[in-house]
Every structure is written in structure tokens, then in C-alpha cells.
């Protein structure tokens, strides 16, 4: 607490050496040089929020030099392959154990209906994820992706996530590389940064022990980058992690991005979002609530932009923080509002209360003083889809 009070004080009250060191780190960040773990910690503990947001916004302008006044957004639909899962994460209200009466595997007719509804709303992509089903291996996913692409060749599949890839590769007895290669050949276009939570294994053992380790998560992304499969990265924060574990998460993601082959896209975007606690085991049994304030979210988002100098896009999590904080974040390092997320089931099951239509997300961006532009998963601007009113820019 003491730390936060100090961080919120205007810089004029800070002692000279602290101000000098803060300025030196900001200079380094503004030169797009990677700051160290210790420097990131120093900023979080000593810089004021307006300073952090100012510097993060300047870096955003450097990274998005051609489009400084534009904030992008997307239309896609979350569809879950299955809610059967053996990972048993302590923050998840979505999954059901094998054999549970409410468990399901999505059938072909449901996919067709949901995809056609999504096309009618102007979407172009399924965010296709699900639980760690103990019986569904590589053959099942290959067949599913192949069917989806044969019905709808124009459909984009932003699918699975590193923990699911680890699970599929383990039950299929093949490497991460082969798993991804076969999925890519079957139609998987890109891989979301799901299941990263906090990459430190102390944290993972306590909140998601049945999921892959932090190093396995990063290794799947290294293999995806070798295949030039675009990816994103996320951080779910504000539960049991320390500040150092949060910073370690950012630094490890940055390191993997530096390792990617030169001609590979790597991580297209980074999305930090606060843990949603409503009715989760973590809240009910351990008493861990989501206490992330707007100040803490904006500090963490700004720090993400400052540390991740080699990642192009920082996305606001409007679903978890709401439109007002999301608008402020557009002045603190973020350049993308994410998707309207037609049918989101996982985070919403843990209490995320916000919803956006295509009109509302554009108005939210405009109210903040930016021009909204629809994009695809590769951050290319998309033309106006039929049936969607795009605001003139």
C-alpha cells in the first residue's frame, strides 16, 4: 500500500535521484530499448501514473507512426469446442469434468449455425477454444478444422492456445512442432495467447496446476513462430502473483519475441487483463478477490507497452475493465480495442459484465478522440462488411 501512495504522488515531490533515474529509464524506453526487470520495477514503484501513461502513449505513437489517430477493433465469435476439461483451474467456472451431465462437445450443426450468424454480423473469424478433453487428440482437431474450412474457405480460425496444444501433443505422442504443423495444414490460421495467466510456475502450481508450465507455454509459441503462425500474448493479473512475477512475465514474452525468425510475425499483440473472480474456487476457497483498481490496470497496461518494445499492438480488455477505463487506456499505450466478441463464455462465467455491439465499440473509440477502424487478426484494415454500419473516418 505504501508503495502505491508513493507512486501516485506527483513527481515534483520526489527526491532528485529518484526523478533522475526515472527519467533515464524513460529515455531508454523512448529510444525503444528493452529496459531491465529492475528498471521496470523501479518505474512501477516510483513513477506516477500520468508519467507512465505519457511515455507509453509516446511509444505507441512511435510503434504506430503511420496511424497515430486510429484505434482498431474486430468482429469475431468465440466458440467453444468442448467444456470438458481435466485441468481444473481455480479461476474457471466454465469447465465440466468428464461425464458431468452438463458437459458437451460442439456438434457440426451448431458450428454451421454459429458461423453463419457470425458472418451475418460482419465477422470473419472464430476464436475457437475449449477444455483439455482427455479423449480428443490431434486426429480429432485436424478433422474438425478440415471440415470447418471445407464448409467455409473464407473463415479464419484463431484457435486453441499453448496449453491446449501441449495437451493435444501429449495425448497424441507428437511434438509441439508437429502438432502445430498438422493443425496449420488443416486450417488453423493463428494461435491466441490464451492460458498464459502468469508464466511463473509458483503461481501456476497454485491456480492452474493441471495446465502446462510457463516454459512449455513459451516453447509452443517459439514453435508457432518457426511455422510463421501469428500469435498473441496475454497476462491475467491481480490474483496471487507478486509485482516481480508480473514483470518476469513481460520480460519472458519479450525474450521469445526477440528469438523469433526474422521473417516471422511472432506476437502480433499483447493483452493484459485483470482476473475475474465471481464464484471461482480461488475466490470461494482462498478468498482471492479481483481488487485491481483502474489505477493499477492503467499502470500495468502502460508498463506492458514500455517493457514490450518489440510488440506492435497493445490491446485494451474492455470486457473486463469496461468502456470508461478502456477509453483512458487508449491514452496510456493501447492502440486496439479488441473484438466485440460475439458469444464470450469463459471470462463472462467469472463475472465480466460488459458487452459491446459494433456501433457501441466505434462510438466508444470516437468519444475517446480516435477514429475507429475495423481490422482482421493480422491487423490489416478490413473493408466494410455487409450489414455493419461503419462510422466514417
Interface residues with ligand SF4 (CB under 6 A) are: 85, 87-89, 92, 94-95, 131-132, 163, 208, 211
- Work out how close the CB of 89 gets to ligand SF4 at its nearest, in angstroms, rounded to a whole number: 3
Residue carrying C-alpha cell 482482421: 376
Element (DSSP H or E) covering residue 11:
none
- Work out how close the CB of 96 gets to ligand SF4 at its nearest, in angstroms, rounded to a whole number: 9
Which DSSP letter does residue 197 get?
Answer: S
- Work out how close the CB of 192 gets to ligand SF4 at its nearest, in angstroms, rounded to a whole number: 12
- Work out how close the CB of 88 gets to ligand SF4 at its nearest, in angstroms, rounded to a whole number: 6
Q: Which C-beta is closer to ligand SF4: that of 47 or that of 199?
A: 199
Q: Which C-beta is closer to ligand SF4: that of 87 or that of 251?
A: 87
Residue 235 to residue 246: CA distance in whole angstroms? 8
Q: Which C-beta is closer to ligand SF4: that of 87 or that of 121?
A: 87
- Work out how close the CB of 171 gets to ligand SF4 at its nearest, in angstroms, rounded to a whole number: 14
- Asked whether 235 and 250 are in contact (CB, 8 A), the reply is yes
Q: Which C-beta is closer to ligand SF4: that of 71 or that of 191?
A: 191
The angle subtended at Cα 119 by Cα 80 and Cα 163, nearest 5°, is 25
Q: Which C-beta is closer to ligand SF4: that of 232 or that of 313?
A: 232
CA 136 from centroid of its chain's CA atoms: 25
Q: Helix-strand-coil percent breakdown of the chain, rounded to 5?
A: 45, 15, 40
CA 1 from centroid of its chain's CA atoms: 28
SS3 268: strand
Residue 27 to residue 23: CA distance in whole angstroms? 6
Question: Which residues sit opposite 234 in a β-bridge?
Answer: 271
SS3 3: helix
- Work out how close the CB of 23 gets to ligand SF4 at its nearest, in angstroms, rounded to a whole number: 41
- Work out how close the CB of 80 gets to ligand SF4 at its nearest, in angstroms, rounded to a whole number: 8
Rg for the chain, CA atoms, rounded? 20
Q: Which C-beta is closer to ligand SF4: that of 83 or that of 327?
A: 83
Q: Which C-beta is closer to ligand SF4: that of 157 or that of 165?
A: 165
Amino acid at each position: 500500500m505504501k508503495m502505491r501512495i508513493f507512486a501516485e504522488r506527483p513527481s515534483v515531490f520526489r527526491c532528485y535521484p529518484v526523478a533522475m533515474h526515472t527519467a533515464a529509464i524513460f529515455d531508454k524506453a523512448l529510444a525503444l530499448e528493452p529496459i531491465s526487470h529492475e528498471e521496470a520495477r523501479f518505474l512501477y514503484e516510483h513513477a506516477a501514473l500520468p508519467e507512465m501513461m505519457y511515455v507509453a502513449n509516446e511509444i505507441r505513437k512511435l510503434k504506430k507512426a503511420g496511424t497515430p489517430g486510429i484505434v482498431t477493433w474486430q468482429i469475431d465469435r468465440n466458440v467453444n469446442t468442448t467444456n470438458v476439461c481435466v485441468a481444473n483451474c481455480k479461476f474457471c467456472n466454465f469447465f465440466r469434468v468428464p461425464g458431468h451431465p452438463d458437459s458437451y462437445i460442439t456438434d457440426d450443426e451448431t458450428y454451421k449455425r454459429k458461423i453463419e450468424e457470425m458472418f451475418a454480423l460482419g465477422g470473419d473469424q472464430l476464436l475457437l477454444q475449449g477444455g483439455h478433453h482427455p479423449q480428443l487428440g490431434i486426429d480429432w482437431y485436424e478433422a474438425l478444422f478440415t471440415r470447418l474450412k471445407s464448409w467455409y474457405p473464407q473463415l479464419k480460425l484463431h484457435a486453441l492456445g499453448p496449453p491446449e496444444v501441449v495437451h493435444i501433443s501429449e495425448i497424441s505422442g507428437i511434438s509441439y512442432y508437429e502438432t502445430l504443423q498438422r493443425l496449420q495444414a488443416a486450417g488453423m490460421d493463428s494461435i491466441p495467447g490464451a492460458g498464459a495467466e502468469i508464466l511463473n510456475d509458483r503461481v501456476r502450481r497454485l491456480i492452474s496446476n493441471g495446465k502446462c508450465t510457463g516454459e512449455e507455454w513459451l516453447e509452443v509459441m517459439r514453435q508457432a513462430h518457426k511455422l510463421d503462425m501469428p500469435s498473441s500474448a496475454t497476462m491475467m493479473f491481480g490474483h496471487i502473483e507478486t509485482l516481480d512475477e508480473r514483470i518476469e512475465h513481460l520480460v519472458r514474452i519479450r525474450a521469445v519475441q526477440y528469438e523469433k525468425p526474422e521473417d516471422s510475425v511472432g506476437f502480433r499483440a499483447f493483452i493484459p487483463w485483470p482476473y475475474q473472480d465471481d464464484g471461482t474456487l480461488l475466490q470461494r476457497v482462498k478468498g482471492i478477490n479481483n481488487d485491481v483498481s483502474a489505477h493499477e490496470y492503467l499502470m500495468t497496461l502502460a508498463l506492458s507497452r514500455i517493457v514490450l518494445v518489440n510488440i506492435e499492438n497493445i490491446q485494451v480488455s474492455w470486457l473486463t475493465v469496461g468502456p470508461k477505463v478502456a477509453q483512458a487506456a487508449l491514452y496510456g499505450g493501447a492502440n486496439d480495442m479488441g473484438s466485440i466478441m460475439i458469444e464470450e463464455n469463459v471470462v463472462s462465467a467469472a463475472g465480466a459484465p460488459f458487452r459491446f455491439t459494433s456501433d457501441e465499440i466505434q462510438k466508444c473509440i470516437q468519444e475517446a478522440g480516435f477514429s475507429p477502424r475495423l481490422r482482421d487478426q493480422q491487423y490489416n484494415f478490413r473493408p466494410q462488411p455487409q450489414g455493419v454500419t461503419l462510422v466514417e473516418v
